[in-house]
Structure 1
Amino acid sequence: MQVEETVTELARVAAREVGRGSEKLAVPTTGALLAAARSLAGAPALDAAVLTGFFIPAADRPAAETDGPIGAVQLAAALRALGGRVRLTTDAPCAPVVEAAIAAGAPGVPLDVAPLHEYDRWAADVLPRYRRLTHVIACERVGPARDGRPRNMRGEDIGAHTAALDRLFAAGPAYRIGIGDGGNELGMGRLPAELVAAVVDRGESIHCGTSCDALLVGGTSNWAAAALVGALALLRPEVSALRDLLRPEWSHEVLRAIVDEAGAVDGVRRRAEPSVDGLDWPLYAEPLEHLAELVVTAGGPAR
């Protein structure tokens, strides 16, 4: 199987339907996974930021959800393995979970934490650096809906718990990659509003209008991030660390760490447990196993 065909299959596996319309949302994004991977793998001086963290204020114990930080740290580890510079970015409410994910999956990767108060002052300090980046990736990071407010899948306004990281995502000439699963994440403005409205419950009101250069849609955002790591592994087969990151065990270790050490919650169940978007580990791990198998089976040099 040619690399291009395998990457297409990676995208299909990552978009597995879990009840939010991901397979339909993914249709207009054909070719985006390969384009994103080629842009990252071919950057001569890769310097990236990965934005993540989706806060669940109505959880039993409010915290960031398990979808997003795992994939974001997986990508950060992958970009570092490629020899690039990379940092994670989140906001204060989500910071404990993202910090735990970094400690478990990519120790030493720097983290920028945006405050909810005096955000403008903080943003003014960091924006010059973000404008010099080659790539900005948003992995399951909520963005503003048509009314300017960040909304969860239930249509609830979570602006009181969310910093405006969309301003960093859109800063400068960086190649922007959006990763999402429900239409309300940064990058989803790449999709037609009428499609999101037709496919996603409350899609008309929650659709994030912030666009990107390449949009990756997953049944969970973590799956789409893993698919991007898989595509990088196919394009850069000499970097064995990329294949190591695709082991489901790697994801399981990070999942357990963010739940046990930082109280990360399942965004659907709103409880701190080792599941993602209502999927217990065996079901959640199936696409991860499939993605890893595709990369191993493809093997050989990139073509």
Structure 2
Amino acid sequence: MNNQNRADDATLSLQIEDALVARNLRGMKTVQSALQTGYYLRAARILNKCKGHVLIGTGFPVIDTFETDGPVGAIALYDALETLGATPVIVCGPPVSQALMQNYRVHEIRVGEHQERALEAFKALYHFQPDAVLSIERPGQAADGGYYNMRGESISARTACFDTFINNAKCPTIGIGDGGNEIGMGNITEALKDLDIVSATTRVDELLIADVSNWGAYGILAMLSVMNDIDLLASVKPREILEYLSNLGSVDGVTRQNELTEDGLDPSEGEAVLLQLRQIIGMV
């Protein structure tokens, strides 16, 4: 790759980064300057090299089920990585694990506080020997070791621990979040102090932020599309994935209702973001 291509990729990544926090729904635009630019490019480069297993942790508990933000992006990433020759595995706890098991490779982890969190991670990491471990919209442990939602309510009893996977992985780790309480936000702890959130302390090699975490997955796909000269975004259908998840019992994380929305937004918002990303990378 010549220097011109490198510069072009860096420019595209910056355009994607800015587009994905433009709405500033939960303060991600506010904290963006805490990150070194090029994070979508760097994450895509990690994933572009993967030909073995890629572990994708997702599933944010809401009431007694799971929210739509996270699994939509996880499914989009799963399909794209499979297209590119990797073997993705979605790692999550019930009920989202049970919901996805029929159609995807799923590794189920145990919900709630227990003594075998580290052992659970070590066993899985040894078994899969992943090329990368990625977290999208998964709760991250706060300074006290607990898990909290956007309202500051404890969700520890309903959360499976993916932090141990991230902390013990011998491969690159990526975190995608949109509020400050997700895995990876430990990278920008200081910047999050001004937000009304119990922030997560778990760190990753590359933190990616977006107004909606699902959109962060689309940002990675945009950069992978450029690298492979293939439009990986064209086949992403947020509305269809939302319908699929809704039928399996998902709820919107903001409204807490079983509806075809993500973080209170109509699927047309996600579709508009997909179109914008495809325009940025010159695929439409």
TM-score, normalising length: structure 2: 0.89
- Which residue of the partner structure matches residue 230 of structure 1? 222
Root-mean-square deviation (Å): 2.2
The answer as to whether partners of 2:163 and 2:202 remain within 8 angstroms in 1 is: yes
Indicate how the Cα distance of structure 1 residues 18 and 281 shifts in structure 2: closer, same or farther if over 3 A, else same: farther
The answer as to whether partners of 1:114 and 1:163 remain within 8 angstroms in 2 is: yes
Unmatched segments (≥5 aa) in structure 1: none
- Which residue of the partner structure matches residue 182 of structure 1? 179
Q: 2:254 aligns with which of 255, 268, 277?
A: 268
Indicate how the Cα distance of structure 1 residues 164 and 125 shifts in structure 2: closer, same or farther if over 3 A, else same: closer
- Which residue of the partner structure matches residue 6 of structure 1? 12
- Write the deviation string for residues 59-88 of structure 1: whole angstroms up to 9, x where unpaired: xxx310010001011111111111112100
The answer as to whether partners of 1:216 and 1:224 remain within 8 angstroms in 2 is: yes
Shift of 1:116: 2.4
Q: 1:172 aligns with which of 164, 169, 174?
A: 169
Q: Structure 1 CA distance, aligned partners of 2:120 and 2:201? A: 26
Identical pairs, percent = 30
The answer as to whether partners of 1:143 and 1:184 remain within 8 angstroms in 2 is: yes
Q: 1:71 aligns with which of 73, 77, 89?
A: 73
Shift of 1:139: 0.2
Confirm or deny that 1:197 pairs with 2:164: no
Shift of 1:110: 0.8
- Report the AA paired with residue 16 of structure 1: A
Q: Structure 1 CA distance, aligned partners of 2:117 and 2:142? A: 23
- Report the AA paired with residue 208 of structure 1: A
The answer as to whether partners of 1:243 and 1:292 remain within 8 angstroms in 2 is: yes
- Write the deviation string for residues 80-137 of structure 1: whole angstroms up to 9, x where unpaired: 11111210000113324544xxx6xxx4x31011122695558636524415212000
- Report the AA paired with residue 85 of structure 1: T
Shift of 1:298: 5.7
Give the paired residue count: 275
The answer as to whether partners of 1:97 and 1:264 remain within 8 angstroms in 2 is: no
Greater RCO, CA 8 A, separation 6+? 1
Confirm or deny that 1:17 pairs with 2:23: yes
The answer as to whether partners of 2:133 and 2:169 remain within 8 angstroms in 1 is: no
- Which residue of the partner structure matches residue 151 of structure 1? 148
The answer as to whether partners of 2:113 and 2:157 remain within 8 angstroms in 1 is: no
Unmatched segments (≥5 aa) in structure 2: 1-6
Tell me the SS of whatever aligns to 2:89: strand
- Which residue of the partner structure matches residue 88 of structure 2? 86
Confirm or deny that 1:162 pairs with 2:159: yes
Tell me the SS of whatever aligns to 1:20: coil
Q: Structure 2 CA distance, aligned partners of 1:117 and 1:42? A: 34
- Which residue of the partner structure matches residue 47 of structure 1? 53
Q: Structure 2 CA distance, aligned partners of 1:220 and 1:86? A: 22
Greater helix share, structure number = 1
Shift of 1:143: 1.1
The answer as to whether partners of 2:238 and 2:267 remain within 8 angstroms in 1 is: no
User: Aligned ranges for residues 217-256 of structure 1 at < 5 Å?
Assistant: 217-237=209-229, 239-240=230-231, 242-245=232-235, 247=236, 250-256=237-243
Q: Structure 2 CA distance, aligned partners of 1:27 and 1:276? A: 25
- Write the deviation string for residues 142-191 of structure 1: whole angstroms up to 9, x where unpaired: 01111111000100000110111211122231100000000000011111
